Structure 1
Amino acid sequence: MTLNASAEWEATSSVANRAIGTVTSVDVRSGAVVAQGQKLYSVDLRPVHVAQGTTPMHRDLQLGASGPDVAQLQQMLITVGFEPGDVDGVFDVGTVGAVRSWQSREGIEPSGAVALGDIVFVPELPIRIRIDPDTVYTGAILSGGERAITGLGAPRFTIALDDRQAELVPSDAAVVVQGPSEPWGAVIERVERDENGAAVATLGTGDSAPVCGDECAEAVGTSGTTLFSSQITLVPHTSGLTVPAAAVSTDASGVAVVVGDDGAKHSVTVVASAQGMSVVEGVPEGMRVRVPFTEREG
């Protein structure tokens, strides 16, 4: 069965911009993986950097300040090669010196204080991000507070099924998704109904790896949904001894059997059936089996 698979990045976090002014450059593309201290974009020629932390940037950080946001800044400074002293959440003279050195390297006036819009804290780094292209673009005017940055997990692959397709598709069916350069192997992990009652199959790989492997960044767009042709295997390829499917019946105990030329019943295991034939186990090669005759009128 050939259907379209939809791929969409799952959002793990959303972070607000706090810089105010005109965007003068965008320095990372959407879908890029960013790390501690990396420059994301500039506002009024002043760079905005990313750092790790669960406390959002909500004030200027300067001499005398204290709190978890200061500790997050100190950790970022250490990671990018500067020494503020202990990561104790106290903005002391050591932190002032480290901030000045960092600002000088980044082309910022070395004031020793970090302005509100100079850093955005995200919960984890490194992380793949999406910078909203409708909000942050060269020439855009920012007023502060825009939800500009989204942390991305892995693309989620799904296939929409109508009711008939949902009945035909096995719950663990193999799927081949056609990537831009090579096919990706996947399996159907579950089939669920959405809020409208439509059946949706979720694809996976059987482990934590994404369906698109190492090609996710290039293959899946960070805005909206990307479609890929996919093939669902309804009946797995298999080999073995075959008999006409009509030759297989069940006895009184529910066991599958075939009847030989001598009239004896032989228990079999049906491995797969398709196109009027069944692959079976439990009978020798070359044995002739009976196919029940059905009398028809006319």
Structure 2
Amino acid sequence: MAETVTHLDDAPETSPAPPPPHGRHGRRTALVASAVVLVAAVAVIGALGLGGGGDEGPSAPPRSGSVVAVKRGNLAERTAVDGRLGYGTEIPLPVKATGTVTWLPEQGETVGRGGTLLRVDDRPVVLLYGMLPMYRDIGLTPRAPDQEAAGDPQDQQGQGRNGPKNGAGPPAGTPASAAPDGAGSAGGAGNGSGDGTGATAGAPRELTGMDVMQFETNLAALGYTGFTVDERFTAATARAVMRWQKDLGLPPTGTVGVGDVIYSSGRVRIGHAGVRPGAEAGENVLTFTGTSRKVVVDASAADAAWAVRGTDVRVELPDGRTALGRVASVGRQAAAAEGGGEDGGSQGANATVPVTVTVEDQASLGRLESGPVTVEYVGREVKDVLTVPVSALVALAEGGYGLETEDGRFVAVRTGLFADGSVEVSGSAVRAGMKVRIPE
């Protein structure tokens, strides 16, 4: 705000006033002089806005100062909060392989589909994409004669047993096409089951389920063909698995063990290792995060109304650049703020909730991987209103604020939202494009 100050020109030097005249003529001269002084005083008072309460005051000689136009547009009040840039919380890899850890990747390394996350007993644990965790071995399961005759109820669920009851047929997980001669194809006598009946194990049972489709989708994405991507693990799928295993340097069994792969929603960034090579494998061997940088804000639980999923925010980086972000998630549990009061009431008043902000344009973050940032969000916003710089406001003598026009008139205005150095104004005498003066 600026104060309105009127400067009056210095009066010219005058000689001492002559003695007042005598008689009627002298009195008339004194009255005329008094009237001139009174008119001049009223003019000065009017220029200062001291006379009347109308929206528009009388004209006054224009003063020096820059001139700006009244604009129409949107005005937003922004609030800044502290945040932390990083890759998010590190999550332990669900390692199900058993044995000795023989190799670990470097922290910060990125692994994609088909890449090796670690090696256990010198066998690679491979990353694949999917939401369903690996919970069983995937492959063909041999069918025992009694299962084929009676109809194994688990056939409907794809949950086979580990092998035939009579010891007949090929080893578990071996596709029929890869079985030794006479090991028993459908309807063949083979070498016999040893029970004197001549019965043999039937064709390997095809495993079914959504986990099969998820695995076959990844196998096809890695470039392996010759099978149909569906919920059935067939002999054709087993042959493709054998080719994949050969490329990994593994024995071509055609069966994928429960510890051979780990699923994630996409590429991962390697975090901290919980053990060194030589230790036993387990779920705390290695951590990971996503590959996209994000910002986490510990927002005040009492003032987190702005934190709504999908809200656009602005992220200011330490080097002064800005990036556009969007609220992705808001925590449901409040925690005491760091450095809060010792008593429970103070901690409750300072409680915070975590707000995660994602940045779609990762290039706008530069090469910075972590560090403190500032997040700005819109607290209040008005649209399609008249605005002027705050410095254009003048305080009127009768109260309130006004604007000085280019030709020196003063018009009263009502103020609204103050934001970004501008203020919302309204009034009957204000219009878009009108030129107003910013007092010096």
Q: Cα offset for 1:135? A: 2.9
Residue 322 of structure 2 corresponds to which residue in structure 1? Answer: 184
CA distance in 1, matches of 2:353, 2:281: 39
Question: For residues 137-156 of structure 1, what are the alpha-carbon distances to aligned partners after superposition, in whole Å with 9 as ceiling and x for unaligned?
Answer: 5444214x558555537623
Please state whether the residue corresponding to 1:141 is helix, strand or coil: coil
- Does the Cα contact within 8 Å between 2:112 and 2:267 map onto a contact in 1? yes
Residue type of the alignment partner of 1:183: R
Instruction: Indicate the percent of aligned positions where both proteins have the same amino acid.
Output: 20
Is 2:230 aligned against 1:88? yes
For 2:121, the equivalent position in structure 1 comes to 44
TM-fit CA distance, 1:246: 3.9
Q: What corresponds to 2:132 in structure 1?
A: 55
2:84 is the counterpart of 1:6: yes
- Give the match for residue 108 of structure 1: 250
Matches of 1:129 and 1:41, distance apart in 2:
13
1:223 is matched with none
Closer, same or farther in 2 for the Cα pair 1:128/1:247, shift >3 Å? farther
**TM-score where L is the length of structure 1:** 0.62
User: Rg larger in 1 or in 2?
Assistant: 2
Conservation of the 8 A alpha-carbon contact between 2:213 and 2:230: yes
Matched, 1:266 2:344: no
Instruction: Provide the secondary structure at the position in 1 that maps to 2:102.
Output: strand
Are the aligned partners of 2:139 and 2:254 in contact in 1 as well (CA < 8 Å)? yes
Shift of 1:86: 1.8
Q: Which residue of 95, 101, 105 corresponds with 1:17?
A: 95
Would the aligned equivalents of 2:85 and 2:294 in 1 still touch at CA under 8 Å?
A: yes
2:221 to 65, 79, 82: 79
1:292 is matched with: none
Contact 1:25 1:138 in 2 (8 A): yes
Q: Report the CA distance between 1:98 and its aligned residue.
A: 0.7
Q: Show CA shifts across 1:56-85 (max 9, x none).
A: 222332323513323322222211111251
Q: Which residue of 2 aligns with 1:294?
A: none
Classify 1:33/1:246 alpha carbon distance in 2 versus 1 (closer, same or farther; 3 Å).
farther
State the Cα deviation string for residues 220-257 of structure 1 (Å, max 9, x = none).
3xxxxx4324386999xx9647345644987xxxxx75
Distance between the aligned counterparts of 2:268 and 2:417, measured in 1?
47
AA aligned to 1:63 is L
The residue correspondences of 1:166-181 to structure 2 (distance < 5 A) are 175-179=314-318
Instruction: Report if the CA contact (8 A) 2:393-2:402 is conserved.
Output: no
Contact 1:178 1:230 in 2 (8 A): yes
Which structure is higher in RCO with an 8 Å CA cutoff and minimum separation 6? Answer: 2
Is this contact kept in 2: 1:42–1:48, CA < 8 A? yes
Q: Which residue of 2 aligns with 1:26?
A: 104
Could you say if the C-alpha distance between residues 50 and 28 of structure 1 is closer, same or farther in structure 2, counting changes exceeding 3 Å?
farther
Query: Please, which moves more after superposition, 25-34 or 95-104?
Result: 25-34
Which among 146, 154, 158 is matched to residue 297 of structure 2? 158
Gaps of 5+ in 1: 221-225, 251-255, 290-298
Structure 2's unaligned 5+ residue stretches are 1-78, 142-205, 337-348, 381-386
Alignment partner of 2:363 out of 206, 211, 214: 214
The one-character-per-residue Cα deviations of 1:138-187 (angstroms, maximum 9, x if unpaired) are 444214x5585555376233265699xx7xx9x9997552256x622357
> Do 2:272 and 2:288's aligned partners in 1 also have CA atoms closer than 8 Å?
no
Q: Using the TM superposition, give the Cα deviation of residue 18 of structure 1 relative to its aligned residue in structure 2, in angstroms.
A: 0.8
Distance 1:73 1:265, change over 3 A: closer
Match of 2:208 in 1: 67
- For residues 199-210 of structure 1, the aligned pairs below 5 Å read 202=355, 210=359
Structure (1 or 2) with the greater strand fraction: 1
Question: By how many angstroms is 1:46 displaced?
Answer: 0.6
User: How many positions carry a matched residue from both structures?
Assistant: 263
Letter in 2 for 1:227: G
Alpha-carbon contact 1:23-1:140 (below 8 Å) kept: yes
SS at match of 1:242: helix
- Partner of 2:233, secondary structure, is coil
Q: Please say which of residues 52-61 and 149-158 is displaced more in the overlay.
A: 149-158
CA RMSD between the two structures:
5.1
